[in-house]
Amino acid sequence: MATVKEWVREYWYLGLVAAAVGLFFWWQGRQPNEAPVAEPLVASMSSVNSVAGSAAATSSAPPKKGYVHIKGAVAKPGVYPVGPTTRWVDVVALAGGLVAQADVSTVNLAQVAVDQESLYIPKVGEETPAAAMPATGGPAAAGASSSAGALVNLNTATEAELQTLSGIGPKKAADIIAYRDQNGGFKAVEDLKNVSGIGDKTFERLAPLVTVGP
């Protein structure tokens, strides 16, 4: 009995330790279970990063480039490349500038030149064909753009419409109409070669722009 008392006196603190451990586990058992939030957060951030990456890829797409056709009173009528911010005044510069008789009072050279458009610059006193004007935006502009890209019918075109073609001035337009009247119309685009002043090089430039259809 004396031995037990001596042991208790020497190791009394072990009871306090055991009581503290038991109290700790009892307290832990009463705590509510919390749902993990790390994984959903990571998934959410991954989705955001994916969307941001897609948006960045879209915004970094190269702007569209193309070609436009300038006709009429410029030094070198023809087809020239344009970018997303190229204006018609820039295209005029590429075409060697305006000739002395050019009349730009009816054209807007400050307008952005859009791929596949065409612009006809008249001479002083000459009327500008409506189909030769570039589009300016909106539903009406869409129609104008479509007309600007339409082929010129050799069998029905007026002198003004023929002059919208690159390299065709008043004299050649009159010669084309004279040939049409004398021969009962054009049977094929190749008949253009029979018109005075239209050689192989001029024909190659005009062939994609004209038709003999109804």
DSSP string, 34-75: PPP-HHHHHHHHHHHHHHHHHHHHHHTSPPP-EEEEEEESBS
The pLDDT of residue 95: 93
φ/ψ of residue 74, rounded to 5? -125, 160
| Six token digits for residue 203 | 């024909």
Strand, helix or coil for residue 102: strand
pTM reported for the whole predicted model: 0.38
Is pLDDT at 148 greater than 50 in this prediction? no
Q: Are 161 and 148 in contact (CB under 8 A)?
A: no
How many other CB atoms sit within 10 Å of the CB of residue 194?
A: 10
Token pair belonging to 172 = 């050649």
Please check the confidence at residue 111 and state whether its pLDDT lies above 70.
Answer: yes
- Whether the CB-CB separation of 125 and 73 falls below 8 Å is answered with no
What is the percent of the chain where pLDDT is above 90? 15
pLDDT digits (tens, 9 = 90+) for 65-92: 888 888 888 999 888 899 989 999 999 9
Task: Label residue 10 by pLDDT band (50, 70, 90).
Answer: low
Ordered by where they begin, the domains of the chain are 62-150 (3.10.20), 151-214 (1.10.150.320)
Looking at residue 42, its pLDDT comes to 46
